[in-house]
Structure 1
């Protein structure tokens, strides 16, 4: 939550019931802007037109359609123009998919609010709110902006969207002089009021809200160019130059062979479009956006796109303890009743020393223990008649209860050394209890003591009861490990990721939590930075760094990086900013983290949970595997397409592909590359890390598999083309070749994706359906300059397609066997 009240915005309004006038609201809106937390997306038609105009395929279709219209072939021109429709439809579909994350964020926000304007309560669109507005919220409504609680009782807010915590959070009114950084006074946009009716004073609107900041960071993070994206741009530029040179050469050769200017121009343009590698940056950008969206679904918001690229390469995680590996709350782990008292009786007694409305985490934990239905539940429902509250000087809290007979029971809870001194007991017994307390403290547990005493009468003006208490026992509390952390640590170990817990706690406390989390195979090696010395090799044998200060956290990150580790670091405070910035992946806490830590971090966790970090790494690794599979598919299909488009005309044969055929192939390639290879991480395990370099996609085995598969498909296509030309029929030869290419594309898709998703099946069957329709339906075949095939032709084409699939399977399987030696081989290659 916010740590301060904005100066000037609420001046003269805090503590009053005054609202704003319309004139004042208009002036404030002019200064601070509208309360548009998630900016409305530009019109879909404009974004579609802008993106489509960048597609070279559009200009290819328009240019060749104009060329055929000029030559008088209107049917061909109309078909090419009609191909614009599915092209635009695909762009629209993909555009809507990439907008899903922002639309989901906007759906959590209030659309209207009840606000006091000109002395009257009125309903306004939430976008009209300004700082200083007094707004009334009833149970079930969303909070429209970040605000201070003005009034309300028994208020509870669902903050799960911002913090990831499912439990309601209590809120109370802000009063002059109170600590502004106390989150109990603040409510935030994107949260929802669960109980009570609240009046709130708007402090921050629009992009200045916490929710707006997260949205802004998410949008900005997807715009940064990553090293891999830059490498792809360089590759595409080189391929583009090579394609243009080849096209000019092909046109010159066709002219030299006497085929005419139109034939030379068509052959050059067709080859250019076939060879143009525009899919690579499109696929990469789409996968990057999918990665940002999938990480957001795991409660990890990406601020910089480079994080999506690097998160999967992390080899070491330096994690905070409190609130990240643990829940950041107190929970009872042990009860030690005194002689003559059992655990249930101790729970009942300790509940009498607590106040339900105190908000004290200790009281909440004890009352949860003694709640109706819980073990040791108490039937005590009466509130204490008097309470002597806890102070640092007294180090205890005492509550007085009066029963029906008029008897008074004083129950005190507090620091064990303080409570033990109030109790009448032998010194040896007191020493024994103190030893028990010391043993619990050594492992980082919080211990409180409970004692009681009967009084003769109740006197509100009397001093707090002193000596003469009867010792009841000890309650031992700890910050429990978050659910799933132990399994997440085990998954990291299996995936080759080191986990180092970094904490400022005592080594004994750190060791206990680390052992419970499974660090060091249950026997964690704990050290301080001072004990590790200056030798970087000493870091190889440490699981926990205790007593760490922020400067030492930065030093730890730098030393691990010098050892070749790719380091992810978690942090939540201002002092963590240097370590977060120095890390390969800085991960800030969205719920408890400071604004400065979120600003320098690459990823913001909404739930502050270590398990989310591990899930993000798994997503990053799988995303890289998916991207490799998609690129492998593009290369395996484009290589034979380009080679046959160049070799057949160079040999003096009729043009193999006409523009409409390139359109058909591209309409098959695009959805396959973009949609088929979107596998989620396998449950319970991670893909292996990529260690092939920050901008490396494939190892030598993978490249060999790609090139050999592409050459095998090329050979099959040239063979069936030669078979068709044996009868002197160019159209028949073209049909055989196109059918072989489409079947090869389907078999490669099946090999790489293993048809593991519904999308893979739909795309593969759709490709086959397009082949059958465009070849076997005479009217359609005539439009696309093909000819229906007979049974023997289909047997020949099927044999060629199956053979290329077997070749792809053979080469990719051999590449996969080398994955352990070369981690840059993709999952399916």
Structure 2
């Protein structure tokens, strides 16, 4: 019972929930008479007390506040400080250039945040705008926001439920609750109490839930929850509490930013210390400090990371995975656990007859989905000839006539109109050429229909055949039909149902159920002869057979699960379906390969503490019959174990877990807008295999980001050490070998352009045989730090050496700086070919990345223009070099890369 309900007559805290009590008792709790409903004045009073029937809305941050937040980044703070100091010391061009870079990076990040999910808004849009309630003894249409606890809500097919209700009357009511419970089929509703206080949400068949759709029948219910006091409201609360965690990439960029800031401050402190000792002027020291700050910060890092992730997102979109947030592209590469829904993701979301038992004979049914192509195959592998199997033909004919579903074509593909389980029977019959339309054209008449309802658990039709025979055809729950059957069809003969026969049928039902199949029985009764009990014909039946129906796994899923396992990624099924079905599917596709991998129900999770759940999830393979709270707890438990968790989902019930997971993956075909808005990745084909493809792409992108970071930071170390060597080795009057704008040019153009194309590198051969990266692993693992420092220092030393030699040979300061500038550029161009591999440049063809070759050519051309044009002389302070000097710097610049790569190749030193 809702908390709001208790304010209207149910103050006792020990009251049983609404579903477990009689409808009249629930009405009494709310002080309402169902036949008259609330008095309008009483309804107005309650609305004033409870407020409108809508979800709470948080006030969004203004866009300008979101933009300013971007400047809290340590990298941007240093750049802005450098820009301000440049302006104060008269270096206006430097100031404008540095500030422009900072603002551009902030804008890119803000734009991505601006496009983030608006999940609660989408959740509100799902609510029904109007509803029909009984007020003062008559039905009235009112805005859904005016509904109050105790209202009598009148519903019919097509309505969206405007509040949570306890059904008082349910005439063949069916409700599609998939968005909240994960149930793949509409749920039959009834008005009787359901014993128990801890009944799973999906099993509360006398309750209606806000935002779900009535697909059939009509009924009435008493409103027991409105607004935030509904199941949807609870999900909205969970979504508010389920803050999106920072992605592994964001955490690593944060660590890198702090390292670079500390490094920049240390270097600046060293320079100022040396300057004070040598008696340098304040202006000169500040100018040098600016140069070092610019040299230490990879200005293009945020922008290039965004571009690389965007390129990866484009590749993923071509493979049916749409990244809504760029950071999710890299997160996929870190994923260690995939929590996946069953229906539509692992399975086809198309109910299909997989087995049938007819007249004592078992058949396997081939084919896929709703395509009317396939065969009935016996134990020997022989396909049935339908004309020689009269019992099978009769069972399929009865199934096709005793049926409300239709096989149609939609968007060029077969589809089912009506109940998916009934549709499976229609498709099974169509596979051997049997259809309702053909039988009606052959003069078979349907004289009377007894629709399915939740009480009888069966449907029947009275059929008259052209030979004058009148037959009652029935399909329904096997236990119900078995209890009403007096005879059984065996090998073409109608035999009296003996205890041994009944045991055999029950064994078939149990066998099908153990395979995760939903069972449906078919029976007939000949009404041609006059019998005294024909006023109640649904008894003394002849049982024809049993169907085994399921939503089968997608053909590509077992291979995808196996590939994920080889990559060290565990797959966990989390579903609203029954545990038996979930266990069977998990076994078929390889999620569960042994008894050590456990299966748990939602009711078990209710009894577990968070600590126990954290232990359980380490070896769990399946969670069945779960609620939104359960999904959220499972995700958090995995994260407490250090797992990087991907969570798939399609419904409103999945939204909190999608937000809380490291990467939420929503279904693009069958998913709700709330689910899509809560996710970081949307599958355009609802296919689990697409997730594994996206993981592969995510790993490739991360590899390429590491290659880019290695290239960029090596350049930064080279720039910083070039200046440091000048200050430490040139005595009391050191000179800057390169200016701040030269450093910006190297970082953004001559080095930045080739480095960017590392994002186009193909995947390494061992990509999907490595284990997932640990969540807390930074960019400097596996020898990356040593490679950056050693190579960068050697390039810096070489650059300073060229600068000093030119000065000693009588060159002007501009010529010496230009020689150092070109040495630095050429050294980075040589290094980029080594950075594109985890081995050495001798083992990877330089022609493998045509985009890189084009970028290198463009970089050299632009740098030559910067050196040999008047604009370059004015802006960068360069001077035209004689051709021999230019060629000399090119070959000298190759030495650090060729020397260290040669040592690594010969001696196998992994950290070089």
How high is the TM-score relative to the length of structure 2?
0.63
1:221 and 2:244 aligned? yes
Which of these residues, 655, 676, 682, is aligned with residue 736 of structure 2? 655
Displacement after TM superposition at 1:646 (Å): 1.1
Cα distance in 2 between the residues matched to 1:210 and 1:766:
57
Aligned to 1:780: 872
Q: Is the alpha carbon distance of 1:248 and 1:681 closer, same or farther for their aligned partners in structure 2, counting shifts above 3 Å? A: closer
Displacement after TM superposition at 1:486 (Å): 0.6
Q: Is the alpha carbon distance of 1:806 and 1:582 closer, same or farther for their aligned partners in structure 2, counting shifts above 3 Å? A: same
1:369 and 2:424 aligned? no
Cα distance in 2 between the residues matched to 1:761 and 1:212:
51
Which of these residues, 513, 521, 526, is aligned with residue 454 of structure 1? 526
Q: Is the alpha carbon distance of 1:187 and 1:293 closer, same or farther for their aligned partners in structure 2, counting shifts above 3 Å? A: farther
Aligned to 1:66: 88
Aligned to 1:422: 487
Displacement after TM superposition at 1:639 (Å): 1.1
Aligned to 1:492: 564
Cα distance in 2 between the residues matched to 1:105 and 1:330:
32
Which of these residues, 666, 676, 682, is aligned with residue 606 of structure 1? 666
Q: Is the alpha carbon distance of 1:235 and 1:115 closer, same or farther for their aligned partners in structure 2, counting shifts above 3 Å? A: closer
For residue 708 of structure 1, give the secondary structure of its aligned residue in structure 2. Answer: helix
Aligned to 2:26: none
Q: Is the 8 A contact 1:580 1:597 kept in 2?
A: yes
Q: Is the alpha carbon distance of 1:177 and 1:447 closer, same or farther for their aligned partners in structure 2, counting shifts above 3 Å? A: closer
Q: What are the equivalent positions in structure 2 for 1:100-179 lying under 5 Å apart?
A: 100-102=115-117
Aligned to 1:198: none
Cα distance in 2 between the residues matched to 1:13 and 1:717:
91
For residue 522 of structure 2, give the secondary structure of its aligned residue in structure 1. Answer: strand
Q: Is the 8 A contact 2:726 2:737 kept in 1?
A: yes
Which of these residues, 687, 691, 713, is aligned with residue 795 of structure 2? 713
Aligned to 2:820: 737
Deviations 1:279-337 (CA, angstroms, capped at 9, x unpaired):
889989999999999999958999xx9998698262x6687877874567742112344
For residue 568 of structure 2, give the secondary structure of its aligned residue in structure 1. Answer: coil
Deviations 1:594-641 (CA, angstroms, capped at 9, x unpaired):
788678765555349755765675566456535533432332121111
1:464 and 2:537 aligned? yes
Displacement after TM superposition at 1:656 (Å): 1.6
Deviations 1:723-752 (CA, angstroms, capped at 9, x unpaired):
533333221121122223334444544544
Q: Is the alpha carbon distance of 1:773 and 1:13 closer, same or farther for their aligned partners in structure 2, counting shifts above 3 Å? A: farther
Cα distance in 2 between the residues matched to 1:741 and 1:326:
56
Displacement after TM superposition at 1:400 (Å): 1.9
For residue 422 of structure 2, give the secondary structure of its aligned residue in structure 1. Answer: helix
Cα distance in 2 between the residues matched to 1:710 and 1:59:
25
Aligned to 1:799: 891
- Per mean C-alpha deviation after superposition, the further-off stretch among 247-256 and 751-760 is 751-760
Cα distance in 1 between the residues matched to 2:588 and 2:115:
39
Q: What are the equivalent positions in structure 2 for 1:268-417 lying under 5 Å apart?
A: 268-275=289-296, 298=321, 312=334, 314=336, 325-326=346-347, 330-338=351-359, 340-341=389-390, 343-356=392-405, 361-370=420-429, 375-379=433-437, 380=439, 385-387=448-450, 389=452, 396-402=458-464, 408-413=470-475, 414-415=477-478, 417=482
Q: Is the 8 A contact 2:334 2:775 kept in 1?
A: no
For residue 545 of structure 2, give the secondary structure of its aligned residue in structure 1. Answer: strand
Cα distance in 2 between the residues matched to 1:544 and 1:496:
19
Aligned to 2:594: 526
Q: Is the alpha carbon distance of 1:431 and 1:625 closer, same or farther for their aligned partners in structure 2, counting shifts above 3 Å? A: same
Aligned to 1:639: 717
- Per mean C-alpha deviation after superposition, the further-off stretch among 54-63 and 741-750 is 741-750
How high is the TM-score relative to the length of structure 1?
0.69
Cα distance in 2 between the residues matched to 1:288 and 1:812:
31
- Per mean C-alpha deviation after superposition, the further-off stretch among 712-721 and 671-680 is 671-680
Q: Is the 8 A contact 2:471 2:527 kept in 1?
A: yes
Cα distance in 2 between the residues matched to 1:210 and 1:300:
28
Q: Is the alpha carbon distance of 1:621 and 1:277 closer, same or farther for their aligned partners in structure 2, counting shifts above 3 Å? A: same
Cα distance in 1 between the residues matched to 2:532 and 2:648:
49
Q: Is the 8 A contact 1:37 1:205 kept in 2?
A: no
Q: What are the equivalent positions in structure 2 for 1:68-83 lying under 5 Å apart?
A: 68=90, 76-78=91-93, 80-81=95-96, 83=98
Q: Is the 8 A contact 2:55 2:233 kept in 1?
A: no
For residue 422 of structure 1, give the secondary structure of its aligned residue in structure 2. Answer: strand
For residue 355 of structure 2, give the secondary structure of its aligned residue in structure 1. Answer: strand
1:251 and 2:233 aligned? no
Aligned to 2:114: 99
Q: Is the 8 A contact 1:38 1:106 kept in 2?
A: no
Q: Is the alpha carbon distance of 1:748 and 1:341 closer, same or farther for their aligned partners in structure 2, counting shifts above 3 Å? A: farther
Q: Is the alpha carbon distance of 1:326 and 1:174 closer, same or farther for their aligned partners in structure 2, counting shifts above 3 Å? A: same
For residue 713 of structure 1, give the secondary structure of its aligned residue in structure 2. Answer: helix
Q: Is the 8 A contact 2:189 2:454 kept in 1?
A: no
Q: Is the 8 A contact 1:34 1:130 kept in 2?
A: no
Structure 2: where are the runs of 5+ without partners? 9-29, 133-139, 152-157, 195-200, 217-222, 360-387, 407-416, 489-493, 668-685, 838-846
Cα distance in 2 between the residues matched to 1:420 and 1:90:
75
Q: Is the alpha carbon distance of 1:613 and 1:639 closer, same or farther for their aligned partners in structure 2, counting shifts above 3 Å? A: same
Q: CA RMSD in A?
A: 6.7
Aligned to 1:72: none
Displacement after TM superposition at 1:33 (Å): 11
Aligned to 1:88: 103
- Per mean C-alpha deviation after superposition, the further-off stretch among 373-382 and 90-99 is 373-382
Deviations 1:185-232 (CA, angstroms, capped at 9, x unpaired):
66759x9x999xxxxx996599977997798578x315x597x86787
Cα distance in 2 between the residues matched to 1:85 and 1:807:
38
Q: Is the alpha carbon distance of 1:505 and 1:403 closer, same or farther for their aligned partners in structure 2, counting shifts above 3 Å? A: closer
Displacement after TM superposition at 1:642 (Å): 0.8
Displacement after TM superposition at 1:491 (Å): 0.6
Q: Is the alpha carbon distance of 1:445 and 1:313 closer, same or farther for their aligned partners in structure 2, counting shifts above 3 Å? A: closer
Displacement after TM superposition at 1:463 (Å): 0.9
Cα distance in 2 between the residues matched to 1:788 and 1:206:
76
Cα distance in 2 between the residues matched to 1:807 and 1:435:
75
Q: Is the alpha carbon distance of 1:109 and 1:447 closer, same or farther for their aligned partners in structure 2, counting shifts above 3 Å? A: closer
Aligned to 1:535: none
Cα distance in 2 between the residues matched to 1:790 and 1:33:
80
Cα distance in 1 between the residues matched to 2:464 and 2:893:
89
Q: Is the alpha carbon distance of 1:328 and 1:403 closer, same or farther for their aligned partners in structure 2, counting shifts above 3 Å? A: same
Q: Is the 8 A contact 2:803 2:819 kept in 1?
A: yes
Aligned to 2:550: 478
For residue 251 of structure 1, give the secondary structure of its aligned residue in structure 2. Answer: helix
Structure 1: where are the runs of 5+ without partners? 69-75, 135-139, 196-200, 528-538, 820-824
Q: How many residue pairs were aligned? A: 768
Q: Is the 8 A contact 1:101 1:293 kept in 2?
A: no
Aligned to 2:588: 516
Cα distance in 1 between the residues matched to 2:583 and 2:54:
51
Q: Is the 8 A contact 1:395 1:418 kept in 2?
A: no
Displacement after TM superposition at 1:784 (Å): 1.6
Displacement after TM superposition at 1:411 (Å): 0.8
Cα distance in 2 between the residues matched to 1:161 and 1:794:
67
Cα distance in 2 between the residues matched to 1:648 and 1:744:
18
